[in-house]
Amino acid sequence: MRPDLLNPLFVEAASLKGVGPGVQRPLDKLGLTRVRDLAYHLPDRFVHRRVVACLSEATVGEQVVIPLTPVEYRGGGSARAPFRVMAEDAAGAVCALTYFGRNSGWARKQLPLNEKRWVAGRLDQFGPSLQIVHPDHVNPQGEGQSLGQLTEPVYPLSEGLTQGRLTALIAQALTHLPQLPEWIDPALVERMGWPDWHTAMTQAHRGEHKEARDRLAYDELLANALALMLVRSRNRRAAGQALVGDGRLRARLALPFQLTGAQTRSIAEIEGDLAQSAPMLRLLQGDVGSGKTVVALSALLIAVEAGTQGALLAPTEILARQHYDTLRRMAAPTGVTIALLTGRDKGRAREAILMGLLDGSIDIVVGTHAIFQEAVQYRNLAMVVIDEQHRFGVGQRLSLTQKGRRTPHCLAMTATPIPRTLTLAQYGEMDVSKLDELPPGRQAIDTRVVAAERLDDVAAALSRHFATGQQAYWVCPMVRENEMADLAAAEARHAELAARFGDDAVLVHGQMRPEAKDAAMERFASGAAKLLVATTVIEVGVDVPNATLMVIEQAERFGLAQLHQLRGRVGRGSEKSTCLLLRGDGLSEIARERLALMRETQDGFRLAEEDLRLRGGGELLGTRQSGDTPFRVATLDQITRLLPIAHDDARLLVEHQGGLDSAPRADAARVLLYLFERDWGVQLLRGG
Ligand code: ADP
Ligand code: MG
């Protein structure tokens, strides 16, 4: 149960004054559904304004507050032409206040002729004259001071929200903040000069208070570290079952290759863990193409050899299906029974699988999260492999491992090479096996950066490529904030390529119905289609060795880690592979450097470290990362500086100060976990 004192923070944002249906949608889009979310929606930067008496005191480009008197209205006759209010300062110098769109009525009301107004906004040069486009504030005479919020936050927005609107809502949310107990070690608070939580919250919205921002970031990092630490400590104490395989199934595997040294080592590490009754909690980290699947299969077979069942969880239907096919092929000579279970299986077929899992006639099940639903019961599930584990939250991961009567062993796999600092953040202290050696015979992928204007050349190169019988991928960017436009662009690109290559070009994107998506994937995987045009859904796991050309459009919009993942889709067979990174023009220095790095190296771990270096630091407030860290508040720079401290502090609390039951800070720490919704940590604590 969430502590009562947090209740005001978890009230729906919809209950705030002025939140109608029009604002609700853009708020939802930003993930701002509760008072808490608004409070934690921190400014990207601040505008600093200066009060000036007349225009000659200000410089072009400066944010000012200035008294002006409207003298004439111009334009605004059509909806397209801007409406201008010509206004004079005290010295008679003129500045235009310019409004685009249908704003003239509103502007006339705010700026009646011959009445002095305080105007706030950015002073720009427009031809020979000065202008302020869409002033941020216009207040009547005498109210200049109140309008002079000289420092104002600038928040990340979504379509349908204005800065003013969001600022007002957040200000309202901040009035609901409770006082919370201190969960940080007082000595640390003192040493860092951090304010208390309530103060930090208000300061962070008011200006560039580094200490306040750091404190809020630290809270988040500590919550995460604590929750992971609790998982770890509970896992150490949980009752699992020791699995000792006799090797009879593994000996019969039909592998067309020899295991690499790294694969052999990882399997041995897993075997060692499984032989213990404490449940394994191990991360298998290996670049794309490093051969994680056979390691996973070996772990599952050990479980079967020991008379229990195994499950392989994939993040998408496509991947589940592919794993199912691969495992069945490799394991055919072993005679183990493998089933596929996804959300789409219904009726009889599903019943039969559920029955097989319950009576133990199915040894291994491959599927999406459907395999862990309430209705799915196992005879004795002892080994769970989670593929592309970063796609699942830790909470989800945990609920998965609660299925067996005894806690199953868990092997989490990821192809995302994570920099050291972030490994700790994502996985806490999981044991790690690394596949740091690629299977032999892989050729380097010839990577080139090509200007987008040369699209025709690229299409011609595709023709030549298909003539050799090989296949290709064409990837279009897709980001949440820009979803509709991106989708349209991908569809347009596919149409264009289909005009040239006909049925040979298939399209796959995240918004398609699963059946249509699978059908397209199937045509490509079977070789019937030559070109797969896709948004980033192919990022994880797809394996078509005959596809040896990868084209990535607007490559500068992808992160390095993502580019690396995508590129890893080719270079899987014996033929030489090529990756073309199409870039737009006007690239920033950093974007240039990133693309150059892609050309230079194929080492995923190096790319991950460089990515962190290129993105981290630099900006005062930094940039919050969405996808690739589990954090919303902490920036990469803060993660790098503060995570190690948070980690040590969490360990101190959990292991040495008697855990969350008896540590002096225990109650406060529990509040923190709920505040950041890492309460699965608390629940675990109670359960274990
Ligand atoms: P990952 O899941 O780590 O990206 P996969 O398990 O899909 O990699 O393996 C990539 C490809 O390499 C597959 O076609 C697989 O059959 C092949 N492979 C795996 N291990 C070896 C090996 N030791 N030698 C040669 N090929 C291998
Ligand atoms: Mg894989």
Q: Which has the minimum average pLDDT: 212-226, 361-375, 605-619, 640-654?
A: 605-619
Q: Which of 435, 464, 484 represents a domain boundary (last residue)?
A: 435
The domain boundary, picked from 149, 169, 198, lies at: 149
Range(s) of the domain holding residue 139: 50-149
Q: What is the pLDDT of residue 621?
A: 38
Q: Quickly state the pLDDT bin for 575 (edges 50, 70, 90).
A: confident
Instruction: Kindly state the average pLDDT of the residues 195-222.
Output: 95
Question: Distance, CA 637 to ligand 2 centroid (Å)?
Answer: 31
Rounded to an integer, the average pLDDT of 559-565 is 82
Asked, for residue 348, whether it belongs to a domain, the answer is yes
Both 429 and 454 in one domain: the answer is: no
Same domain, residue pair 402 and 457 = no
Residue 617 has pLDDT above 60, yes or no: no
CA trace torsion 552, 554, 558, 562 (10° rounding): 0
∠ CA 20-23-28, rounded to 5°: 115
Nearest CA to ligand 1 atom 15: 291
Q: Which atom of ligand 1 is nearest to the CA of 435?
A: 3
In a domain, 45, yes or no: no
**279 assigned to some structural domain:** yes
CA of 420 to the centre of ligand 2 (A): 21
The answer to whether residue 662 is domain-embedded is no
pLDDT of residue 416 exceeding 50, the answer is yes
Q: For residue 479, name the pLDDT band (cuts at 50, 70, 90).
A: low
Span from the CA of 331 to the centroid of ligand 2 (angstroms):
16
588 and 493 co-located in one domain: yes
Model confidence band, residue 7 (pLDDT cutoffs 50, 70, 90): very high
Cα–Cα distance between 341 and 141 in angstroms, integer? 70
Distance 409 CA to ligand 1 centre (A): 23
- pLDDT tens digits for range 352-391: 999 999 999 999 999 988 887 777 889 999 999 998 765 5
Counting from 1 in the atom list of ligand 1, the atom nearest the Cα of 292 is 3
Contact between residue 386 and residue 410 where contact means Cβ atoms under 8 Å apart: yes
Please work out whether the CB of residue 496 comes within 6 Å of at least one atom of ligand 1.
Answer: no
Q: Do 431 and 451 have their domain in common? A: no
| Predicted confidence (pLDDT) at residue 565 exceeds the cutoff of 90 | no
Q: State how far the Cα of 274 lies from the Cα of 303, in Å rounded to an integer.
A: 8
Query: Does the residue 613 lie in any domain?
Result: no
What H or E segment, with its residue span, contains residue 283?
strand 281-286
Higher-confidence residue of 684 and 660: namely: 660
Residue 584 CA to residue 70 CA, distance in Å, equals: 44
Q: Is the CB of 439 under 6 A from ligand 1?
A: yes
Task: Give ion ligand 2 contacts, CB < 5 A.
Answer: 541
Any domain includes 616: no
Name the residue among 154, 113, 110 with its Cα closest to residue 135.
110
- pLDDT in the model for residue 309: 96
Q: Is 572 in the pocket of ligand 1 (CB under 6 A)?
A: yes
How far apart CA 312 and CA 404 sit, in angstroms, is 14
Angle at 206 between CA 205 and CA 211, to 5 degrees: 80
- Assess contact for 96 and 129: CB atoms under 8 A: yes
The last residue of a domain, from among 569, 601, 633: 601
Looking at residue 537, what is its pLDDT?
A: 59
Band (pLDDT 50/70/90 cuts) for residue 240 is confident
Question: Which domain CATH number covers 59?
Answer: 2.40.50.140
In a domain, 300, yes or no: yes
Among protein residues, the one whose CA lies closest to atom 20 of ligand 1: 291
Q: Counting atoms of ligand 1 from 1, which one is nearest the CA of 287?
A: 3
Q: Residue 636 — very low, low, confident or very high, per pLDDT cuts 50/70/90? A: confident
Ligand 1 proximity of 415 Cβ (cutoff 6 Å): yes
**Same domain (yes/no): 464, 521:** yes
User: Same domain, yes or no, for 348 and 450?
Assistant: no
Which of the listed residues 253, 257, 265, 602 should we mutate to test ligand 1's pocket, taking the one with most ligand atoms within 8 A of CB? 257
Please count the other Cβ atoms lying within 10 Å of the Cβ belonging to residue 231. 26
Q: Is the per-residue pLDDT at 87 higher than 90? A: yes
pLDDT reading at 74 higher than 70: yes
Our answer on whether the CB atom of 594 is closer than 6 Å to any ligand 1 atom is: no
CA of 574 to the centre of ligand 1 (A): 12
Q: Is the CB of 259 under 6 A from ligand 1?
A: yes
pTM of the model: 0.70
Closest ligand to C-alpha of residue 327 is 1
Three-state SS annotation for 188-205: HHHHHCCCCHHHHHHHHH
Residues 409, 476, single domain; the answer is no
Q: What is the pLDDT of residue 620?
A: 35
Tens of pLDDT, residue by residue over 166-193, are 999 999 999 999 999 999 999 999 999 9
- Per-residue confidence (pLDDT) for residue 678, from 0 to 100: 81
Q: Tell me the C-alpha distance between 684 and 688, whole Å.
A: 6
Residue 456 sits in the same domain as residue 408: no
Q: Which residue has the higher pLDDT, 310 or 442?
A: 310
Q: What are the tens digits of pLDDT across the range 10-28? A: 999 999 988 888 888 889 8
CATH number at residue 364: 3.40.50.300
CA distances from residue 465 to 345, 548, 578 in whole angstroms, order as listed: 38, 9, 10
Domain shared by 454 and 412, yes or no: no
How high is the pLDDT of residue 343? Answer: 83
pLDDT class of 546 with cuts at 50, 70, 90 = very high
Residue 438 Cβ contacting ligand 1 at under 6 Å: no
Looking from the CA of residue 255, the nearest atom of ligand 1 is 16
Which amino acid residue places its CA nearest to atom 2 of ligand 1?
292
Ligand 1, atom nearest to 568 Cα = 4
pLDDT reported for residue 622: 40
Q: How large is the average pLDDT for residues 438-467?
A: 90
Confidence check: pLDDT of 618 > 70: no
Are residues 430 and 450 both part of a single domain?
no
Q: Is residue 604 lining ligand 1, measured as CB closer than 6 Å? A: no
* Token couple for 189: 């608070």
Distance 439 CA to ligand 1 centre (A): 7
Residue (of 193, 213, 190) closest to 203 by Cα position: 213
The confidence score (pLDDT) of residue 683 equals 62
**What is d(CA 591, CA 581) in angstroms, rounded to the nearest whole number?**
12
- Which residues are bridge partners to 281 per DSSP? 410
C-alpha of residue 292 to centroid of ligand 2, in Å: 6
Q: How far apart are CA 151 and CA 155, in angstroms?
A: 13
Residue nearest to atom 22 of ligand 1 (CA): 439
Mean pLDDT rounded to a whole number for the chain: 86
Q: Which of 288, 290, 324 to mutate to test the pocket of ligand 1 (most atoms within 8 A of CB)?
A: 290
**Do 303 and 399 lie in a common domain?**
yes
Find the range with the poorest average confidence among 43-57, 422-436, 482-496.
422-436
Q: Are residues 526 and 410 in the same domain?
A: no
**What are the tokens at 681?**
């940590």
Q: Is there an atom of ligand 1 within 6 Å of 260 CB?
A: yes
Query: Is the beta carbon of 445 within 6 A of some atom in ligand 1?
Result: no
Evaluate if residue 3 carries a pLDDT over 60. yes
Q: Does residue 60 lie in a domain region?
A: yes
Instruction: Tell me the residue length of the chain.
Output: 688
- Indicate the number of domains in the chain: 3
- Place 305 in a pLDDT band, splitting at 50, 70 and 90: very high
